[in-house]
């Protein structure tokens, strides 16, 4: 599977770990930067690059890394059709795909080290949406909120 990947300066220390974890599992990472450590860069720039790749069909899923994982998750979920989850445990990294059909994993390089990060990437990358009725039903409600905001009728 093709994964768009983005890292701000806070996430940069996990860049090689994330890319290599995907490659070693047979996936195809697309590295959207940063290509070098720049303490002045801004996490929304990388979030936008990754979600553009997903929405444009250049990648099926994405992985975004900042310092905490929070900033990139918030920025990514501002775009319709993007379901981003910050996960620092393998249960959430897999379940966010299996139940919630998440297409972006957000990680914090100031929270976890490379060994855990590689396990999280593998859990997310190899998970498959269940397709079960209750999960599809809940996702339709999420879509309604995305479409209609506070006027959504669930």
The catalytic site residues sit at 66, 99
When asked if residue 68 is in the footprint of ligand RB5 (CB under 6 A), the reply is yes
- Rule CB under 6 A: choose which of 67, 84, 103, 112 binds ligand RB5: 67
> Binding to ligand RB5 by residue 62, rule CB under 6 A?
no
Burial 99-130 (b: 16+ CB within 10 A, else e): bbbbbbbbbbbeebeeebbbebbbbbbebeee
Only segment of 12-20, 63-71, 90-98, 140-148 that touches ligand RB5 (CB under 6 A): 63-71
CB of 42 vs ligand RB5, minimal distance in Å:
8
SS3 127: coil
Stretch of 49-57, 68-76, 111-119, 143-151 lying at the interface with ligand RB5 (CB under 6 A): 68-76
Neighbours of 146 (CB within 10 A): 15
Residue 8 makes contact with ligand RB5 by CB under 6 A: yes
b/e sequence 53-85, b meaning 16+ C-beta within 10 Å: bbeeeebebbbbbbbbbebbbbbbbebeebbbb
Contacts with ligand RB5: how many residues (CB under 6 A)?
8
- Minimum CB separation of residue 136 from ligand RB5 in Å reads 31
User: Site mask, ligand RB5, residues 115-144, x = CB under 6 A?
Assistant: ------------------------------
Provide the residue count of the chain: 154
Least distance from C-beta 108 to ligand RB5, angstroms?
6
DSSP 50-96: HHHHHHTTS-SEEEEEESSSHHHHHHHTTSTT--EEE-SSHHHHHHH
Q: Point out which residues bind ligand RB5 (CB under 6 A).
A: 8, 10, 43, 66-68, 70-71
């Amino acid at each position: 599977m093709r994964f768009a990947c983005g890292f701000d300066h806070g996430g940069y220390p996990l860049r090689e770990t994330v890319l290599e974890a995907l490659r070693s599992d047979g996936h195809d990472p697309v590295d959207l930067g940063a290509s070098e450590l720049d303490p002045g860069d801004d996490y929304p720039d990388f979030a936008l690059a990754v979600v553009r790749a997903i929405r444009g069909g250049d990648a099926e899923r994405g992985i975004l890394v900042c310092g905490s994982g929070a900033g990139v998750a918030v920025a990514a979920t501002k775009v319709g059709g993007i379901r981003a989850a910050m996960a620092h445990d393998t249960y959430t990294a897999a379940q966010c795909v299996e139940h919630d059909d998440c297409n972006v994993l957000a990680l914090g390089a100031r929270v976890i080290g490379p060994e855990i990060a590689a396990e999280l990437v593998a859990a997310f990358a190899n998970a498959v949406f269940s397709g079960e009725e209750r999960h599809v039903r809940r996702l339709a409600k999420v879509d309604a909120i995305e479409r209609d905001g506070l006027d959504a009728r669930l």
